[in-house]
């Protein structure tokens, strides 16, 4: 990236050098709170609803870009606008809590890097939860490694299902490649969601993850449900 910037005679602003974050901690409703510092501006107690340390880094990068744009075009802004803009940013099926009672979270962890981020965040933020997982994925993914990662969440139980998509892994394939018993396999993902929610304890959490194609259908189904 640095070489490309030099070839294009373009300025390069690096996270951790030209702008940075500090005092990162968890706020209410699992929000991320942090301070931002740059020669272009310093802001305290910025808050985002997106979960995970990577989202804090993303938010800081977006804010630095915004400040550079405003400087270049002589545009004014207010701290209130910045804070409300960051807090109002949403990303469907990226550690998205769609219900508090019962507690249901959606995340499209469709590959190894995304699954690593998800498992790290869940271990950090939801260690007090009794976690039930429902996963559907595409057959051409590294299902073995994904299974190992998601099953590394302490006290969690992995269930698998499938959905109507040409590249979707079958329930049988998911069981074989992820080491899941047939007792934790559902052919019908809608029935799986309803069944797992019905069995969920007050301290429970239903985490639905895997393919983004799958999660888009799940999100539509849940948000249409009057219970949500």
pLDDT digits (tens, 9 = 90+) for 103-123: 999 999 999 999 999 999 999
Is pLDDT of 227 > 70? no
Query: What token pair was written down for 170?
Result: 């079958």
Mean per-residue pLDDT over the chain, rounded: 94
Angle (nearest 5°) at CA 130 between 124 and 133: 85
Quick one: pLDDT at residue 2?
83
Fold for the domain defined by 2-87 = 3.40.1190
Question: What's the rounded Cα separation, in Å, for the pair 172 and 180?
Answer: 9
Average pLDDT over every residue of 140-167: 96
Quick one: pLDDT at residue 225?
76
pLDDT tens digits, one per residue of 181-195: 999 999 999 999 999
Is pLDDT of 25 > 60? yes
Q: What is the pTM of this model?
A: 0.88
Domain ranges in the chain? Answer: 2-87, 96-224
Do 2-87 and 96-224 fold alike per CATH?
Answer: no
pLDDT tens digits, one per residue of 48-89: 999 988 999 999 999 999 999 999 999 999 999 999 999 999
What residues contact 101, with CB distance under 8 A and at least 6 apart? none
Which segments of 161-209 does DSSP mark as H helices, in order?
A: 171-178, 189-198
Is pLDDT of 21 > 90? yes
Quick one: pLDDT at residue 126?
94
Task: Kindly report the CATH number that applies to the domain delimited by 96-224.
Answer: 3.90.190.20
pLDDT tens digits, one per residue of 161-180: 999 999 999 999 999 999 99
Q: In the structure, what pLDDT confidence band is assigned to residue 224 with cuts at 50, 70 and 90?
A: confident
Question: What's the rounded Cα separation, in Å, for the pair 113 and 3?
Answer: 25
Question: What's the rounded Cα separation, in Å, for the pair 70 and 82?
Answer: 12
Average pLDDT over every residue of 142-152: 96
Quick one: pLDDT at residue 226?
58
Quick one: pLDDT at residue 193?
97
Among 2-11, 16-25, 140-149, 195-204, where is mean pLDDT lowest? 2-11
Name the percent of the chain lying above pLDDT 70.
99
The residues that bridge with 186 in the sheet, in sequence order, are 161
Is pLDDT of 196 > 80? yes
């Amino acid at each position: 990236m640095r070489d490309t910037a030099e070839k294009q005679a373009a300025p390069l602003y690096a996270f951790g050098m030209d702008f940075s974050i500090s005092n990162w901690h968890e706020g209410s409703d699992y929000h991320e709170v942090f301070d931002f510092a740059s020669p272009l501006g310093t802001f305290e107690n910025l808050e985002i609803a997106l979960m995970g340390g990577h989202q804090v880094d993303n938010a800081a990068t977006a804010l630095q870009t915004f400040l550079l744009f405003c400087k270049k075009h002589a545009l004014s802004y207010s701290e209130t606008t910045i804070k409300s803009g960051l807090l109002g940013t949403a990303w469907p099926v990226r550690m998205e809590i769609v219900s508090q009672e019962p507690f249901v979270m959606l995340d499209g962890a469709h590959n190894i890097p995304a699954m690593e981020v998800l498992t790290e965040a869940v271990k950090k933020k939801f260690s007090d939860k009794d976690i039930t997982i429902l996963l559907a994925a595409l057959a051409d993914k590294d299902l073995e490694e994904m299974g190992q990662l998601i099953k590394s969440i302490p006290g969690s139980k992995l269930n698998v299902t499938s959905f109507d998509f040409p590249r979707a892994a079958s329930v049988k394939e998911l069981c074989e490649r992820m080491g899941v018993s047939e007792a934790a396999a559902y052919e019908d993902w809608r029935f799986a969601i309803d069944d797992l929610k019905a069995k969920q304890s007050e301290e429970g959490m239903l985490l639905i993850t895997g393919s983004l194609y799958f999660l888009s259908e799940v999100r539509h189904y849940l948000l249409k449900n009057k219970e949500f």
